[in-house]
Amino acid sequence: MNEDPEHLFPADDGLFEETFSADSTYRVSGQNIRIHQYYCANLGVAASVWDSALHLCQFFEKVSLDLSGMRVIELGGGTGLVGIVAARLGAHVTITDLPFALSQIERNVDANAPLSGWPSDAPAVLPLSWGHDQNRFSSSWDFVLGADIIYLPETFPLLLDTLVHLSKDGAVVYLASTMRREHGTQDFYDSVLPQMFKVELVQRDPESNINIYKATLR
């Protein structure tokens, strides 16, 4: 596949024709997280805090997931909310996305540094293009996280390759998604991910149409 990986994502899809910014505070997993969202055509869907990210963070609290000292990598971080929450809960976190989104994530990481310091360390923010450069990353993770990253069928094989590499040493994958039929989201979880992973639906919110899946490498 020869496409420029950055062009696989809808950076300029008409969602944000005007440029403006917004600052919001979210209360998730017992943490107050301040997120700056810079809406512009260059960031596209990476600009927003999507509901699935909030659901994933709330799920951690619901199941009392102990992230302290855990090695965590977030894919398609966007605003960085999920990774920042994990770091505030004591995880060693790496937040990844395509290069154009990294400055927004870095700004949000800096804005959410606890006054007493990060429990483990500040999240690292690094570029990762699925299916192209995942081998630059370790396979030694405890958790691989992603929120609303399943929406472009042409990226599904690239994401699967990336998840396989990151999970080789036994990582648990948690993915939260709005189940958009027109984007083939259900097909990813029913047909693509099970090719290499054992997949379990661990939470379903019919009102918001958001599912959370747990996956482990076969």
Taking only the tens place, the pLDDT of each residue in 138-186 is 999 999 999 999 989 999 999 999 999 999 999 999 999 999 888 899 9
Taking only the tens place, the pLDDT of each residue in 46-80 is 446 778 999 999 999 999 999 999 999 999 999 99
Whether the model clears a pTM of 0.75, i.e. scores above it, the answer is yes
Predicted local distance difference test score (pLDDT) of residue 72 = 98
Taking only the tens place, the pLDDT of each residue in 18-37 is 555 678 888 888 889 988 87
Query: Which parts of 29-178 are beta strand (E)?
Result: 31-39, 71-75, 92-97, 124-127, 143-147, 172-178
Instruction: Say yes or no to pLDDT of 7 above 60.
Output: no
Predicted local distance difference test score (pLDDT) of residue 36 = 83
Instruction: Say yes or no to pLDDT of 206 above 70.
Output: yes
- Cα 65–chain centre separation: 17
Q: Tokens for 73? A: 């990598």
Q: Tokens for 79? A: 């605003």
Taking only the tens place, the pLDDT of each residue in 98-139 is 998 899 999 999 999 999 999 999 999 999 999 999 999 999
Residue keyed to tokens 């995880």? 91
